[in-house]
Amino acid sequence: MRDNADELLLDVRDLSVAYESGGGLVTAVDRVSFTLRPGEILGLAGESGCGKSTIALALPRLLRSPAVITGGQVVFDGTDLLGVDDTAIRAVRWRDIALVFQNAMNALNPVLRLSAQLVDVIRHHDKVSAEQARERAGELLDLVGIGRDRLRAYPHQLSGGMRQRAAIAIALALRPRLVILDEPTTALDVVVQREILDELKGLQGELGFAVLFVSHDLELLAEFTDRIAIMYAGRLVEAAPSLPLLDGAAHPYTRGLLAAAPDLHGRRSVSRTALPGTPPDLSAPPPGCRFAERCEKAMDVCRWDEPPLLPLNGADPTHVTACHLYSQDSQEVHA
Ligand code: SF4
């Protein structure tokens, strides 16, 4: 399934990322494609090491050595970000694409007050006076529920939840069109996590930015996102609108992830079952389906032929999966 290119904010095409290791390259993200429309919230899920956080960093070209982007395109608002120079990509970061990481301390400078950090970001990108930037910084802290009276606080004077809210305020400072959230609340307790995600969803509705939400928590993603894409061992294996995916997952890996997760809402009667085995060694991935060694439905063909990403049902091109159980005569699609 491909959307009309004119309607897309982000069009990731066959993105591949490798890590240099022992004189060779280990491909951590292998020909992954997906799209995001303006204002859409897409979840990216999968086990640790599946490549989802690597994608989050690759989009705004924030990967550092030994990671290297080895192929593909990241088309943002019509421009391939992999083809522009460093000045152009710096202009896109924060202004157009902002990130919120799991650990807010990665985004906050521990020796600077919040006011200084927010004012720095605003004045670095916008031609405004220091006073105007401070006013905007106060508005941002109000917006994320910290309150402008904490402008002069240092990060260590804030709770974990407040630090994460401050990181979100910095991310929203320049009114980006895409916010990438990489496990933004994983380090927080569930009550604070819920509060922050509810606020983020409210802000997203108010400000209209698109979101790429990276998480291992499918239940959380199903509540927060419009669509979910599932990664396994560097490949995208299933994508669908969020609630249909939760209730009608097709790929055995997605089903395994769901069966292994607690159902907080009582929708599923499946008892919790840990996924057996471990993902393949990406320095020598198997030739067929990468999930074959762990899949109870594996067939002979799965061990030598890699399944393409195809619509699950011809009538519903929004639900795609890469599994020989559903192979049909149609072309590979873009999630
Ligand atoms: Fe299982 Fe085969 Fe489908 Fe892979 S392609 S998930 S091994 S049935």
pLDDT in tens, 42-76: 999 999 899 999 999 999 999 999 999 999 999 99
Name 37's Cβ contacts closer than 8 Å, sequence gap at least 6: 3, 7, 8, 9, 210
Question: Rounded to an integer, what distance in angstroms lies between the CA atom of residue 167 and that of residue 178?
Answer: 15
Question: Rounded to an integer, what distance in angstroms lies between the CA atom of residue 186 and that of residue 119?
Answer: 28
Regarding the beta carbon of 302 and ligand 1, being less than 6 Å apart is answered yes
Asked if residue 309 lies in contact with residue 322, where contact means CB atoms within 8 angstroms, the answer is yes
Q: Domain map of the chain by residue range? A: 5-96+176-242
Helix intervals (H) in 80-227:
86-92, 114-125, 130-143, 160-172, 190-207, 218-224
C-alpha separations of 148 from 108, 156, 211, 276, 311 in Å:
17, 17, 25, 49, 49
User: By CB neighbour count within 10 A (0-12 exposed, 13-18 middle, 19+ buried), where does 39 fall?
Assistant: middle
Task: Output the CA 227–ligand 1 centroid distance in Å.
Answer: 22
Question: Rounded to an integer, what distance in angstroms lies between the CA atom of residue 86 and that of residue 84?
Answer: 7
Q: Report which of 31, 17, 49, 37 is spatially closest to residue 318, judged by C-alpha positions.
A: 37
pLDDT of residue 334: 63
- Three-state secondary-structure class, residue 259: helix
- Strand spans (E) along the chain: 10-21, 24-36, 41-45, 67-76, 79-80, 97-100, 178-182, 210-214, 227-232, 235-241, 310-313, 316-321
18 token code pair: 């490798």
Residue closest via CA to ligand 1's atom 5 equals 323
Spans of the chain, pLDDT less than 70: 1-6, 104-106, 262-272, 314-315, 328-335
Q: Report which of 123, 107, 224 is spatially closest to residue 166, judged by C-alpha positions.
A: 107
Regarding the beta carbon of 230 and ligand 1, being less than 6 Å apart is answered no
Task: Output the CA 253–ligand 1 centroid distance in Å.
Answer: 8
Question: Rounded to an integer, what distance in angstroms lies between the CA atom of residue 113 and that of residue 146?
Answer: 14
C-alpha separations of 260 from 214, 277, 279 in Å:
18, 13, 15
pLDDT of residue 113: 95
CATH class of 5-96+176-242: alpha beta
Q: Which residue bears the tokens 């982000």?
A: 10
Predicted TM-score of the model (pTM) = 0.90
pLDDT of residue 25: 93
Regarding the beta carbon of 293 and ligand 1, being less than 6 Å apart is answered no
pLDDT of residue 335: 67
Regarding the beta carbon of 144 and ligand 1, being less than 6 Å apart is answered no
Regarding the beta carbon of 220 and ligand 1, being less than 6 Å apart is answered no
The H helix count followed by the E strand count for the chain is 9, 12
Question: Rounded to an integer, what distance in angstroms lies between the CA atom of residue 160 and that of residue 276?
Answer: 34
Amino acid identity for residue 52 in this structure: K
